[in-house]
Amino acid sequence: MRGRETDAVDLEALQKRQDEAFGLTRAAPITTARGAARFLARVAIALRYGPTPSLPLASLYRALAGPRSDKAAMAAAIALTNRLLGEAHGVEVHVIAERVTLVDRSLLPALYVLVRRGRALDDLRGLSADARGALSVLRERREASAGDVRRHLGLRPDPRHDPAYAALGELARLLLVDRGPFEVPKSGIPYLSREGYPYHPLHEAHPELVAEAARRSLTGAADAFLQAYLDGAEFARVRTLARLFKAFLAPAERRTPHTPTMSGTWPSIDEGEAMMTSHRTLPIDPFRNEIVYI
């Protein structure tokens, strides 16, 4: 589709391109740390675990484990994901589509701007007492697991609710903490670390990326974030962007494409009535009044 104009866009072809870009049709898994880093850099955002049909996001697990679902494939995928985190190629975040995702390190400054929106690190408005306590533990220890938070704050989990995870989740949704690589157990379930997942103050774990975020404008961050997603995803409906990024992108920021058309104009569209890709503006279906940005 890129590089030429047409009167309509083949949705089936776009979907096929997206599936290929996301690695969902790969017969063989990515087996090297270098390949995993390249994949994440290309797609910009990926679910940490398996793909979800209703969410147009790449899946690290699918890319790194391939179509297999056995224990060996799972362990290999988890080990490579841990390397991505340990070598700071990616950062785990919990603000996209209400899922656990990894973003490429190049995208974190833009996301940080959009989530934090100028809030100082000591601005704890809206945080629960447990979340404030968990943050104090993290600032003192520099690294803590949910178990550490439970012990220090005297929190008691029950089968339906773990207050330590809830507190850490609040902090993660404000990008105050990140969750780093963990020690994969030699036996048992690969993703159940005996020591627990380690959390860190995000601004200490990635100081250079937070410093870069301070130099970004809000508009520039929105531009960069959407462009990176669309470059990796090939296309998306505007209403889908609302579902994926509603936690940090304002309606106006996700309604208006941030890529100008070939004529240099900036089109304005209603949410739910458009599709976007990386480069141009084209009609997609006159009967549904949809537009595509290519």
Q: Where are the domains of the chain?
A: 218-293
Query: What would the pLDDT profile of 255-281 be if each residue is shown by its tens digit?
Result: 544 444 333 333 333 444 556 665 544
Q: Measure the CA–CA gap between 291 and 268, rounded to whole angstroms.
A: 11
Q: Measure the CA–CA gap between 258 and 274, rounded to whole angstroms.
A: 13
Residue 181: which of 195, 163, 162 has the closest Cα? Answer: 195
Query: What would the pLDDT profile of 95-149 be if each residue is shown by its tens digit?
Result: 999 999 999 999 999 999 999 999 999 999 999 999 999 999 999 999 999 999 9
Residue showing tokens 């090297």: 32
What local confidence, expressed as pLDDT, does residue 99 receive? Answer: 97
Share of the chain above pLDDT 90, in %: 66
Sign of CA dihedral 230, 232, 237, 243: negative
CB 267 within 8 A of CB 257: yes
Give the confidence band of 10 by pLDDT, cuts at 50, 70, 90. confident
SS3 assignment, position 274? coil
Give the pTM: 0.86
Mean pLDDT over each residue of the chain, to the nearest integer: 84
| Alpha-carbon distances of 111 from 220, 228, 280, rounded to whole Å | 11, 11, 24
